Structure 1
Amino acid sequence: MSQELGGPGRPTRAGGAMVAIPVAWIVVVSVIDFLAPPHIHLGPLLVAAPAITPSLGGPRTVGLVAALAVAAQTVIGLLRDPDTLLSANHQAQIAALVVVGISLVLFCVVRERRAKELEQVRYVSEAAQRVVLPPLPRRLGPLRTAVMYLAAEAEAQIGGDLYGAARTASGTRVIVGDVRGKGMTAVSDAALLLAAFRVAAHRQAPLEELVAYLDRSVRWEVAEPGETGRFDETFITATVLEIPDQDSQVRMVSCGHPPPVVLRGGRPRTMSARRSAPPLGLGELTDPRYDVESFPFEPGDLLLLYTDGVTEARGPGGGFYPLIERITGWTETSCDAFLGRFRRDLLSHVDGHLDDDAVMIALERPALP
């Protein structure tokens, strides 16, 4: 909180110092215009001072600089032609400065009002996004966790990718998924699935029953009342895992989602499901069978869960991000260190721009002392 409150102060002080530039411009133009020959008039250049001030300050600052420019133009006119109050030329220039100054002040008022509205909207949006997709705890029982979420849409923090975790009496259940589609509809569908997962994951029901419940929840909650034809339009790929505290065998149900990767000693291994179930939400069409498979997750390993926004991230040349190839040889055993390196590598591959949301979750089972 202290960082958020302290942040805005620095730009304000910098902007206040920069206001000296238009003031200095007014002084320089006024002096040169007064010293120049009678046939040379530099007064029109004074309009540049209030014109650049909106980028440096607010309405009051702009009004002050505009008033200084008008005063300077008036003084120049009086000093240049002391026998006449003001020539027609100087009167026209003063009138132009007044009109420009008033217009710029009104522009700054509207700009600040819209900026405040946008700031409030962003605040509400970020709060809502954190409710929909709260960050994972740093520790889940014996596991350490780290998450990277890169949203493709500008000004967004989340999209249709999702993840969640819940502790049980004997271990941790984790879900990672990807909603078909983008935008607020995808965020809403992700929220529905995560809510169902949080309700049911704490129960001691077998993993296959949990996944069947999630499939029914997607079908029931995504479809509008009275609709029967949307089951084939909305679906969510997902992987649901159960990681025991005292056992190194992870139990997994895959629903059309990219397979987890275990990184051990710099060697990544893809844990592909032998029989993947269809995505969640399509159960009514396919009558799926949820097979539970297992794979080892030993102390010192990193377990990587991700969405297709990672493996389908395209570089400038059009090539996909080769996850297994890129992380081969990486010896980071800390989930934070791994994700820091991974984030830099992924953004470097796509030249800083993603076409789809990308999630990477690193779960670390610390090595035994």
Structure 2
Amino acid sequence: MSQGHDVLGPPVRARRALVAVPVAWIVVVSVVDVLAPPHVHLGPLLVAAPAITPLFGGPRTVGLVAALAVIAQTTIGVLRDPDDLLSANHEAQIVALLVVGISLVVFCVLRERRAEELSQVRYVSETAQRVVLPPLPKRLGPLHAASFYLAAEAEARIGGDLYAAVRTTSGTRLIVGDVRGKGMTAVGDAALLLGAFRGAAHRQADLGELVAYLERSVCWGLMEPGEAGRYAETFITATVLDIPDGDGPVHMVSCGHPPPLLLRDGRPTTVDAKHPAPPLGLSELTDPSHHVESFDFEPGDLLLLYTDGVTEARDAAGAFYPLTERITGWTGYDTDAFLDRFRRDLLRHVGGELDDDAVMIAIERPAALPGRA
């Protein structure tokens, strides 16, 4: 049985056991109807058997139960009217059972086709996500890393949020960003930026030059086909970081993206950019200069990068997720354990379903670097 069938109800063994319910119903109704007084007719209750079968059965099971109900109704008519074989009332009930049974079988066939299509969509989207947004490796040089992606599109599992990491000769370069919009429509723009970043991050000596290159790549990539100088109504917020392997500050360029958080001894600090650049793709509208800023990232610190799908996640009352407040006091977690707790906390806040794509990345500088005392 295909994967799509498994999402429609209980496991296979449970579904097979549940078939006994409509069969028992048919037997009970048939026996009671035959023994009932002539003016009492329980045959119409037989329709309940094929009606409940689609809850746990496929087209074949529904068809068999419906056929059994028709046979039972025919048997009841013969036993109750042996002289006329079947009365008009019983004939009408048999026809009704046939119509209901055929309709339910058609419904089950269409339902299973839809389930297979959804299963294929999920498979394709998961494959696309693994290609465009593979999980960060657990080790980036001396750094420990973990990431998760939650897409707002329930059937797509991938959207417009993006992240990537590239190793250089002296450290690790990271990007986290958010394409305007969500769902599959934003995947192409995200892939454009990620391709430019992965192709150039290890070659650019200066972080400002790298971001300027990304800006040009995005502007050209977002230009409407056949409309030179006219850009699509799309932009990408992003934060690009350069984290050295050894001692030294982290360099950062912020392009209209939510600021990182630095968690030190359970106390989160927002790393605000003093001179943020505009989102990528808007250089023709404002000053495209990219100021490189820096901050300390000490052994034992946890650096958190995220998209606005995290901070703008709302609960049932419409309150935003209080990121800084919720993670205060979280200590003793490695990157994987931290993100596992964070993911559960975020989904609990929103009731299990996000309105926008969300990314969270945790980077830890171990307390003792490899090869050092």
Q: For residue 111 of structure 1, what is the aligned residue in structure 2?
A: 111
Structure 2 residue 143 is the aligned partner of structure 1 residue 165: no
Q: Give, in whole Å, the separation in 1 of the partners of 2:122 and 2:93.
A: 43
Offset at 1:149? 1.8
Q: What is the CA distance between 1:350 and its match in structure 2?
A: 2.6
Q: Show the counterpart of 2:347.
A: 347
Measure the CA separation in 1 of the matches of 2:132 and 2:8: 28
Report the equivalent of 1:192: 192
Q: Distance in 2 between matches of 1:179 and 1:76?
A: 66
TM-score by structure 2 length? 0.92
Change in Cα spacing, 1:117 to 1:319, as seen in structure 2 (3 Å) is closer
Q: Could you say what secondary structure the match of 1:165 adopts?
A: strand
Q: What pairs with 1:125-164 in structure 2 (closer than 5 Å)? A: 125-164=125-164
In the other structure, the counterpart of 1:263 is: 263
- Could you say if the C-alpha distance between residues 74 and 333 of structure 1 is closer, same or farther in structure 2, counting changes exceeding 3 Å? closer
Map Cα deviations across residues 85-142 of structure 1 (whole Å, 9 max, x no partner). 2222212211221222222222222222232223222222221232222211122111
Pairwise CA RMSD: 2.3
In structure 1, what is the equivalent of residue 330 of structure 2?
330
1:248 CA drift (Å): 4.2
Q: How does 1:178-217 map to 2 (within 5 A)?
A: 178-217=178-217
CA distance in 2, matches of 1:116, 1:316: 33
Check conservation: 2:145, 2:335, Cα contact below 8 A: yes
5+ residue gaps in structure 2?
A: none
Q: Which amino acid letter does the alignment assign opposite residue 79 of structure 1?
A: L
Q: Which residue identity lines up with residue 54 of structure 1 in the other structure?
A: P
* CA distance in 1: counterparts of 2:135 and 2:292, whole angstroms: 27
Greater shift in the superposed pair: 73-82 or 17-26? 73-82
1:281-314: CA deviation from partner (whole Å, max 9, x where unpaired):
1223334222211111111110000112222222
**5 and 247 in structure 1: CA distance in 2 versus 1, 3 angstrom threshold:** farther
Equivalences, count? 367
Matching residue's letter, 1:151: A
Residues 1-369 of structure 1: matches in 2 within 5 Å? 11-228=11-228, 230-231=230-231, 233-368=233-368
Question: 1: distance between equivalents of 2:290 and 2:311?
Answer: 25
Alpha-carbon distance, 1:23 to partner: 0.4
Task: Give the unaligned 5+ runs of structure 1.
Answer: none
**Tell me, what secondary structure is at the counterpart of 1:164?**
strand
Q: Distance in 1 between matches of 2:307 and 2:139?
A: 22
Deviation at 1:226, TM superposition (A): 3.0
Structure-2 change in CA distance of 1:40 and 1:9 (3 Å): closer
* In 2: Cα distance, 1:171 partner to 1:61 partner: 61
Shift of 1:52: 1.3
Counterpart Cα distance in 1 of 2:174 and 2:5: 35
The one-letter code sitting in structure 1 at the alignment partner of 2:233 is E
Is the CA contact (8 Å cut-off) linking 1:147 and 1:360 kept in structure 2?
Answer: yes
Contact 1:232 1:282 in 2 (8 A): no
Alpha-carbon shift at residue 6 of structure 1 (Å): 9.9
Query: Any conservation in 2 of the 1:211–1:290 contact (CA below 8 Å)?
Result: yes
CA distance in 1, matches of 2:348, 2:272: 27
CA positional deviation for 1:217: 0.4
Q: Normalising by the residue count of structure 1, what TM-score does the alignment of the two structures yield?
A: 0.93
Q: Is the 8 A contact 1:176 1:240 kept in 2?
A: yes
Partners of 2:190 and 2:163 in 1: CA distance:
9
Look up the equivalent residue of 1:307 and give its one-letter code.
Answer: T
Give the match's secondary structure for 2:37. Answer: coil
SS in 2 for 1:86: coil
Deviations 1:156-205 (A, max 9, x none): 32221111111112211100011122333322111110111111112243
- Indicate the SS of the match to 2:285: helix
Structure 2 CA distance for partners of 1:185 and 1:4, relative to 1, 3 Å: closer
Aligned equivalents of 1:114, 1:5: Cα separation in 2: 10
Query: What CA distance in whole angstroms lies between the structure 1 residues aligned with 2:102 and 2:321?
Result: 54
> In structure 2, what is the Cα distance between the partners aligned to 1:161 and 1:202?
22
Percent of paired sites with the same residue: 77
- TM-aligned CA deviation for residue 324 of structure 1: 1.8
